[in-house]
């Protein structure tokens, strides 16, 4: 099975590497060519353009920043017209459910299947091959690419096109709200004289424990906000959650609050390129602390 992997940034690169290790034949492309060097060394072919990458591919995986970027890649840069009929596009980017459904419909017109399959787990999950993969699309198409998902993580088909993206939005709401709670708890114990590391240790196995508490709580304590998941992307996802809520006639107060806080971090504090655990910096700023 020949795979074209488009977008080998922070998340895409380790995902592509795991596919190479699993024995798949990969052709990769990235907007910044330097980010494909390690994959080429591992055995991937590197294409100069995304359209060239997909020629002869059985599966095309996209891992791009947002919906408009995915649409531009597929339908403006000439990628879709170069994908062979019968191939499957797996979009692992985080985009709006409506955008995923639109892409699926446009690809179906040229005989190409589409699965929206956004992920959760950050760079650590990508490197370990333990991503949560939320899929939407046709059941038969999903079954055909089950072995493609396996080296990257655990994939579950949730329903028709757009279902994976809806689940990812719900996931991002949980992530954002939990980061906010961990930030407040970390600040509370720190200012009260309790070592945040011991605080995290004592909560292990309890109801308040989580991956976010252990990983991002440690980031907050050390001040290391090297991006695993960028704050700008977290803000984009929260905007997409609220856009979907407007269509559905729903109000999610905690998500709205976290959207405003991430907007403050990204725009006013210019923290868009920091890890989303850097919301702790926004909390410190609110309290006039360093």
Within 10 Å of residue 286's Cβ, how many Cβ atoms?
Answer: 11
Cα torsion through 76, 78, 84, 89, rounded to 10: -40
Q: What's the average model confidence in pLDDT over 21-27?
A: 97
Predicted confidence at residue 290, as pLDDT, reads 86
Q: Which two tokens stand for residue 8?
A: 């080998």
Give tens-digit pLDDT for 233-262.
999 999 999 999 999 999 999 999 999 999
Q: What's the average model confidence in pLDDT over 88-106?
A: 97
Distance (Å) of CA 172 to CA 141, 169, 258: 26, 5, 11
The candidate with the shortest Cα–Cα distance to 86, out of 68, 64, 110, is: 110
Q: Phi and psi (nearest 5°) for 65?
A: -65, -45
Question: Among residues of the chain, what percentage have pLDDT more than 70?
Answer: 100
Check pLDDT > 90 for residue 34: no
Is position 2 annotated as part of the catalytic site? no
Rounded distance between C-alpha atoms, residue 264 and residue 59, angstroms: 39
Collapsed DSSP state (helix, strand, coil) of residue 25: strand
Predicted confidence at residue 42, as pLDDT, reads 97
Q: What's the average model confidence in pLDDT over 250-278?
A: 98
Catalytic choice (21, 35, 82, 168): 168
The alpha carbon of residue 22 and the mean position of all alpha carbons in its chain are separated, in whole angstroms, by 21
pTM of the model: 0.92
**Long-range contacts of residues 280-287, Cβ cutoff 8 Å, at least 24 apart:** 280/183, 280/186, 280/187, 280/219, 280/220, 281/225, 283/183, 283/184, 283/187, 284/187, 287/187
Check pLDDT > 90 for residue 33: no
């Amino acid at each position: 099975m020949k795979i074209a992997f488009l977008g080998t940034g922070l998340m895409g690169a380790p995902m592509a590497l795991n596919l190479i290790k699993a024995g798949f034949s990969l052709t990769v492309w990235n907007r910044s060519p330097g980010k494909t060097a390690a994959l080429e060394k591992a055995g991937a072919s590197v294409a100069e353009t995304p359209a060239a990458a997909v020629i002869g591919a059985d599966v095309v995986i996209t891992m791009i920043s947002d919906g408009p970027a995915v649409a531009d890649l597929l339908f403006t840069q000439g990628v879709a017209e170069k994908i062979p009929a019968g191939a499957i596009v797996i979009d692992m980017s985080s985009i709006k459910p409506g955008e995923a459904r639109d892409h699926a419909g446009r690809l179906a017109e040229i005989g190409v299947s589409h699965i929206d399959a956004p992920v959760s787990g950050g760079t650590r999950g990508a490197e370990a091959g333990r991503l949560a993969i939320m899929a939407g699309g046709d059941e038969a198409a999903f079954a055909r690419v089950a072995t493609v998902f396996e080296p990257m993580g655990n994939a579950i088909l949730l329903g028709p096109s757009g279902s994976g993206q809806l689940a990812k939005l719900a996931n991002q709401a949980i992530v954002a709200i939990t980061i906010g709670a961990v930030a407040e708890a970390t600040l509370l114990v720190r200012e009260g004289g309790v070592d945040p590391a011991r605080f995290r240790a004592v909560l292990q196995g309890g109801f308040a424990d989580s991956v976010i508490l252990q990983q991002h709580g440690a980031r907050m304590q050390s001040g290391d906000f090297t991006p695993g998941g960028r704050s700008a992307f977290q803000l984009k996802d929260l905007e997409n959650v609220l856009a979907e809520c407007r269509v559905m006639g729903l109000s999610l107060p905690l998500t709205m609050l976290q959207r405003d806080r991430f907007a403050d971090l990204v725009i006013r504090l210019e923290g868009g390129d920091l890890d989303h655990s850097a919301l702790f910096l926004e909390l410190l700023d609110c309290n006039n602390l360093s």
